Amino acid sequence: MKRCKFCNAQLPDEAVFCLNCSSVLNIREEFHTKSGKIFSPKIFHIFTVLFLLIFSLTLFSSYRVRTHLLNTLILDERETVMIPVTTDNGETVTDAQGNAVYEESAIESVKKKPTLSDIIDRIVGNDSGGGKNKDKEQNESGKPKLNKSEISQSSQSGLPSSNETSEKDLSEKNTHTAADTAEPEEIVTENPEEVFEYETYSKEYNQIQITKYKGDASFVTIPDFINGSMVVSIKKDAFANNSKIKTIDIIKGNRKFIWLNAGCFNNLSSLTTVNLYDNDLGLDSRFAVDCPIKDFNITYWQYRFVDGAIYSYNSMCWEFKTFCGNPCYDTLTLPLWCQEIAGDNNFRDAKNLRVINVHEDIKYMPCYTYDYNKNLEAINVSPENQYCLSADGVLFQRNSPEDTRYRGFYPFSKKDKVFKFPQKEGCTFSIECATYVKINNYVEEMYLPLNARITWTTADTPFPSLKKLYYEKGNPNYDEMKREFMGEIHLY
């Protein structure tokens, strides 16, 4: 039998550690301290326990800090908008100077999960919670500037829940008045019961529609309620022949929806801005006739306003709705996320439109667009489009990819004096139009290959300046037009 050197406990001869104090037996001399005492394992155990305790507390604290940072970064994504303060009767509240009073209102936004770089930047204090996105060059208003690639990616997005600009940016833009410009616009508070005439829209739901505006303000606010009834519609010619109105502000308030009928804004020669905020909106494509609208500010997800064009989501895809009449917009380039043209009258009031660019997924263009757009010079179609094609700006389209007949529509203001019909194997091309419409006064010569034909006579030609026709030998339309056309006809 032997004894433990540390606690003097009696142990078996083959024992290598003490069963009483857990000390290792036969410890070598180098484990002794300088004082000659052996380092006790109990002290080692105490240090081990302390280390584990401190490590656990550190992990717990790190978790609390990380949770706080996550919550802080997510909360930073909440947005606010400024909305006009109104009385119970729908009247806008103003201050001592007569300016509309606004209040801050929080809106929900998509919560963004922070990345690791966001958390690190927040800890080291490199930014205020925006991560690397905050490193972008900012303009004078403090908003980040986007480079060309980012703008392109944004414009090609097809998600119906996203806009070219964020709801926050649109809301800020909507609340800007002409006071932000060089010439401040005076906002006059009007009594809705005095300046609006209205009629019953739905007696059951206590809804009305505005039939006439009698005021003379340049900044007009359309309230959600008039005399206790909800305004849900603006009738045709309700705003008509008024040269003073510059901005129409359609507040949401407690309104559930509003419908803008065809011609509800008619011949408002100074109207440049329409604010709709977050209204659930019904919009006729000809809601604004002879109005030089430049800014159509709306945050409702179903609509987009891009470069003078209004688009709407029809539950299946984005479609082109209408084009504004401001002279600053003369070119329409349909974005890739726009898949359809909503109807035949969408371009009717775009009197300043000169060029339309169409991508490969558009299946239909309005047939008689040129009859209304006297300044239109060209419609250019992507070569990959299976339904439409263009030849020097002249639109040709067919009903399906299997259809071999292309109908052509010649631009009213195309200034070329010579036009050559396109050629495509197995397909025929013709130019059609209403016989009473003189669609172009510039073209003087046309070249028609074997697969091309025209269908008018000299008496009803839509090309008053057309003097010469050149037919490819073998064209079956040659003999017919030789009898009908009074100008020169040649073979080539």
Parse the chain into domains and list their residue ranges.
1-30
Does the predicted model carry a pTM greater than 0.95?
no
- Identify the residue with better confidence: 15 or 118: 15
Question: Would you call 379 helix, strand, or coil by DSSP?
Answer: strand
Backbone region of residue 24 per phi and psi (left: phi > 0; alpha: psi in -120 to 50; beta: other values): beta
Burial of residue 310 (CB within 10 Å: 0-12, 13-18, 19+) is buried
**CA separation, residue 197 to residues 161, 202, 205 (Å):** 36, 16, 19
Helix (H, G, I), strand (E, B) or coil at 70: helix
Q: CA-CA distances (angstroms) from residue 307 to 225, 327, 333, 334?
A: 32, 12, 9, 10
Q: What is the pLDDT of residues 333-376, one digit of tens each?
A: 999 999 998 877 788 778 888 999 999 999 888 765 656 778 88
Q: Which residue has the higher pLDDT, 72 or 439?
A: 439
Q: In 3D, which of 257, 177, 181 has the Cα closest to residue 217?
A: 177
- Asked if residue 5 lies in contact with residue 25, where contact means CB atoms within 8 angstroms, the answer is yes
pLDDT digit string, tens, across residues 261-313? 999 999 999 999 999 877 688 888 889 988 999 999 988 889 999 999 999 99
pLDDT band at 73; cut points 50, 70, 90: very low
One-letter amino acid for residue 111 of the chain: K
User: To 10 degrees, what angle do helices 41-75 and 116-124 make?
Assistant: 100
91-117 burial string, b = 16+ CB within 10 Å, else e?
bbeeeeeeebeeeeeeeeeeeeebeee
Which positions ≥6 away from 59 have C-beta within 8 Å? Answer: none
Q: Would you tell me how many other CB atoms lie within 10 Å of the CB of residue 408?
A: 21
The predicted pLDDT at position 293 comes to 92
Among 8-12, 102-106, 451-455, the least confident range: 102-106
Mean pLDDT for the stretch of residues 203-228:
94
Structure tokens at 80: 């606010």
State the pLDDT at residue 151. 33
Residue 403, token pair as written in the block:
């259809």
The residue behind tokens 């250019």 is: 380
Beta carbons within 10 angstroms of residue 406's beta carbon: 24
DSSP letters spanning 391-435: ETTEEEE-SSTT--EEEEE--TT---SEEE----TT-EEEE---T
